[in-house]
Amino acid sequence: MASVIALVSQKGGVGKSTIARALAREAAAGGLRVKIADLDVQQGTSIDWNRTRLDAGIEPTISVESFKTAAQALAVVDHYDLLVIDGPARTSQATLDIARAADLVVQPTGASLDDLRPAVREFHALVKAGVPADRLSFALNRIGTDAEEADARAYLADAGYGVLAGCLVERPAYRKAQNEGRAVTETRYAALNTRADALIQSLIDQIGG
Ligand SMILES: Nc1ncnc2c1ncn2[C@@H]1O[C@H](COP(=O)(O)OP(=O)(O)OP(=O)(O)O)[C@@H](O)[C@H]1O
Ligand SMILES: [Mg+2]
């Protein structure tokens, strides 16, 4: 059975596409048949990124396709071990449809209260709409210090949700890698790759579990 992992958020620019691409990259490197379903048809971030990646000849190659709805993406799921849904921001109904279709819903968030409060409200809304809370997990992004990570982790745990092990620190090198068609686990800096991989592996560990 294929696993479906969805990246969602109401807030834009929190790292949905960043984590979707790294997850797909690491799953593909591990031999899984994986597809990114880019549901942000307006931006097509992952589609554009993959064109750059293919142009540059970066291995492993990753399959990315755009879909209008979660249902359309699910129709191809049988051909894969893992379907990664890269969701659009600012769309309550699409987010709910995506969350219902997924085995695991991951919401990236920054560490400030300005980010954490609406992020928690978003998961509360999904739970209220019938999505089981144990299918919802946060991923911490743009972290500055260990203390900041610990505080954000505690806040989200208090709210009753899981938080993936590991986090993404804020680094221009992550942007640069993605500008070049690489994932955040494929930067020129081994230490940054290792840190990003810790977050991604905690996601991959949940596939088939
Ligand atoms: N940890 C990080 N350090 C530096 N830059 C980052 C980090 N995470 C994400 N970015 C950059 O921030 C921008 C937004 O990230 P991304 O596209 O992954 O967010 P998104 O949630 O998919 O956005 P949208 O809501 O527009 O789809 C991108 O340019 C990305 O390279
Ligand atoms: Mg995106």
The rounded Å distance from CA 17 to ligand 2 centre is: 4
pLDDT at 23 over 70: yes
**Alpha helices per DSSP H over 102-161:** 113-128, 146-158
Q: Give the residue numbers spanning the domain of 64.
A: 3-204
In one letter, which amino acid is 48?
A: D
Average pLDDT of span 26-42: 96
Pocket of ligand 1 (CB under 6 A): 9, 12-18, 40, 43, 45, 89, 141-142, 168, 170-171, 174-175, 178
The best mutation among 8, 17, 46 to test binding of ligand 1, ranked by most ligand atoms within 8 Å of the C-beta, falls on: 17
pLDDT at 206 over 90: no
Cβ atoms of 195 and 166 closer than 8 Å: yes
93 located within any domain = yes
Dump pLDDT digits (tens) for 80-126: 999 999 999 988 899 999 999 999 999 999 999 999 999 999 999 99
SS3 assignment, position 46: helix
Cβ atoms of 28 and 62 closer than 8 Å: yes
Distance CA(16)–CA(7), nearest Å, equals 5
Q: CB neighbours of 136 closer than 8 A, spacing ≥ 6?
A: 99, 105, 107, 123, 126, 127, 161, 162
Dump pLDDT digits (tens) for 127-148: 999 999 999 999 999 999 999 9
151 located within any domain = yes
Q: CB neighbours of 1 closer than 8 A, spacing ≥ 6?
A: none
pLDDT of residue 208: 62
Average pLDDT of span 152-158: 98
209 located within any domain = no
The span from the first CA to the last CA of the chain, in angstroms, equals 12
Ligand 1 atom 31 nearest Cα? 175
The rounded Å distance from CA 1 to ligand 1 centre is: 30
Counting the structural domains of the chain, the total is 1
Ligand 1 atom 8 nearest Cα? 15
11 located within any domain = yes
CATH classification at residue 131: 3.40.50.300
